[in-house]
């Protein structure tokens, strides 16, 4: 094989490997965050980026209707991810409004997410979330 043709072939192979590695990395990260998030209440914050924010961003990339929900309602303060009867659910908590919304994650992409709410959150939940937010702020400021 002539040298220029070999160089082109090598460049194409390198590009294909790089692309496939980035896809594998994204898939691994998605599965890791899903596993870490299951059954947890997560703060959604930028600095430092929290697991809740990573999950919210990854789910909104997968589900266009979640992106629309977030455009309308804004980013929640907390996110919970849970399973029940073989179904996966996200729960979005908005502390200033003192409400929560639930969303059922479809088993296939052909179906849209089903949203329910707003539902009022209790004083106990508000206190719990306030404490979690304060713990996060204290941990960040001690760094």
Number of domains in the chain: 2
Same structural domain, 63 and 110: yes
Q: Same domain, yes or no, for 85 and 120?
A: yes
Whether the pLDDT of residue 122 is over 50: the answer is yes
pTM of the model: 0.71
pLDDT on residue 36? 47
Highest average pLDDT, of 5-9, 23-27, 40-44, 126-130, comes from: 126-130
Residues 7 and 76 in one domain: no
Domain that holds residue 86: 39-141
Give me the mean pLDDT over the 114-138 stretch: 92
Check whether residue 46 and residue 109 sit in a common domain: yes
Residue 41: which pLDDT band, with cuts at 50, 70 and 90? confident
Token pair in block for residue 79: 């996110």
**Claim to verify: residue 113 and residue 127 sit in the same structural domain:** yes
User: 96 and 27 in one domain?
Assistant: no
For 74-114, write each residue's pLDDT tens digit: 999 999 988 888 788 999 999 999 999 999 987 766 678 89
pLDDT in tens, 23-32: 334 433 444 4
Percent of the chain predicted with pLDDT > 70: 71
- 14 and 61 in a single domain? The answer is no
CA distances from 95 to 14, 40, 42 (A): 48, 17, 13
Task: Give me the half-sphere count of Cα atoms (radius 13 Å) on the Cβ side of residue 120.
Answer: 3
Question: Do residue 59 and residue 33 come from a single domain?
Answer: no
> Residues 61, 111: one domain?
yes
5, with CB counted inside 10 A (0-12, 13-18, 19+), is exposed
Same domain, 130 and 69: yes
CA distances (Å), origin 123, targets 66, 71, 98: 27, 27, 9
Q: Tell me, yes or no, whether 116 and 53 share the same domain.
A: yes
């Amino acid at each position: 094989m002539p040298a220029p043709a070999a160089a082109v072939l090598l460049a194409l192979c390198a590009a294909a490997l790089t692309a496939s590695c980035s896809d594998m990395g994204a898939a691994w990260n998605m599965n890791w965050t899903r596993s870490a998030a299951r059954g947890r209440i997560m703060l959604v914050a930028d600095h430092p980026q929290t697991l809740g924010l990573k999950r919210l961003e990854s789910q909104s990339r997968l589900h266009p209707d979640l992106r629309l929900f977030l455009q309308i309602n804004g980013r929640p303060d907390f996110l919970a991810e849970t399973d029940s009867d073989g179904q996966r659910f996200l729960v979005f908590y908005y502390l200033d409004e003192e409400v929560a919304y639930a969303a059922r994650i479809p088993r296939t992409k052909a179906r849209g997410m089903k949203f329910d709410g707003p539902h009022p959150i209790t004083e106990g939940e508000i206190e719990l979330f306030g404490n979690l937010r304060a713990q996060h702020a204290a941990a960040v400021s001690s760094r």
